[in-house]
Chain A
């Protein structure tokens, strides 16, 4: 069994984003999805610090400190781009105008709760940024994360043990082992790595996953 690497995970997410979609890619692993969006589709990227039509990073000579993404890295604005202020930016998110948001996570529950902003560890300084707004804002929220922690514990859980970012908002999980939909009837397997069985995936995950594969 060969796990999907980070680029393969990003490619899988990119494949599921249709022509014409408005998409916010969260900081970290989700940012990588941008590298795999098919050239033959027009997909408009939103960054919550006030830009629709975000393009790739510029070369070093063309960096502009006034043109950055939510991770505060230099980006470009594509033809057709629009700038707007923060209240508008989050209104378009909260108001259900964004089609997809892709987020990283510490944990996702079987009912679509997400924990991704705070470890809750004593002494950890809480910093939420746009995480809670993003989690509940888009029409569909995808999560990209490794399936297991470094200690081999499942990050898909019955109930999140980390502090929650949002409740019941995740609709699909992309991991390095599988793609899983969260439905009212429970988790449903969409795809998994070659050589993996549903029984093995459920054993690793510690939760029930139905499969029609």
Chain B
């Protein structure tokens, strides 16, 4: 019997290792797998590369992981926020490496990794600082920049409901990076607000098919 459920985040993250690249879902706090991030903090793995849209807020979650000096590099589109002082401090003191990627390129590079695409030409960023040194090509009189996939060891995402096969549905704009990140990692772990009976998610409504999900942890909803 296939059962991807795990007893808690510690169990789900047991094989997380130093030097791992981790995709972390969420746009701000919507869809952010807060429980799994806390699990990464407890786990102790260091020298991590984090790929996420933002670089943490306040002193909790991703910001706390950064504060513990566990992250070597962050790949994101928008590190700067009103309360991103932990990241700001580490960046200014040269203690963290930053790769800024336009948001759509970030999503597409992750998608490419999950879809077996070796690279793609995108118009986004052409002629800007973020395309410096990158290969370009003119196709049908439009200019494009060559971008490469972002592969990861782990993807940590949050969904609304999941079943023991790992089929997932999300809630509203908390979906954001979850479905693409789920496809792009060796191990995808989803925290879900409820685990439901196999068959109770309408197959027409499954957003992430279970083939992409390796582990599932039920967490207590915040609301």
Contact = CB atoms under 8 A, between A and B. Distances in A.
Interface stretch (B43-51, B63-71, B171-179): B171-179
Interface of B: 27-31, 77-80, 88, 91-92, 98, 100-108, 110-111, 122-130, 143, 170-180, 207, 222-223
B79 A77 contact: no
Contact size range, A: 35 or more
Main secondary structure of the interface of A (DSSP, over half): loop
B111 A132 contact: no
A127 B126 CA distance: 17
22 contacts: A49-B30, A65-B222, A66-B173, A68-B30, A83-B172, A85-B178, A87-B180, A91-B104, A94-B104, A94-B122, A126-B79, A126-B100, A127-B79, A128-B100, A128-B103, A128-B130, A130-B102, A131-B102, A132-B104, A133-B103, A166-B126, A167-B127
A50 B105 CA distance: 15
Interface in A50-95: 50-51, 64-68, 72, 77, 83-87, 89-91, 93-94
Interface string A151-183: 000000000000111110000000000000000
Contacts, number: 138
A118 B129 contact: yes
Nearest to B222: A65
Contacts of B173: 47, 49-51, 66-68, 83
Nearest to B178: A85
A131 B77 CA distance: 10
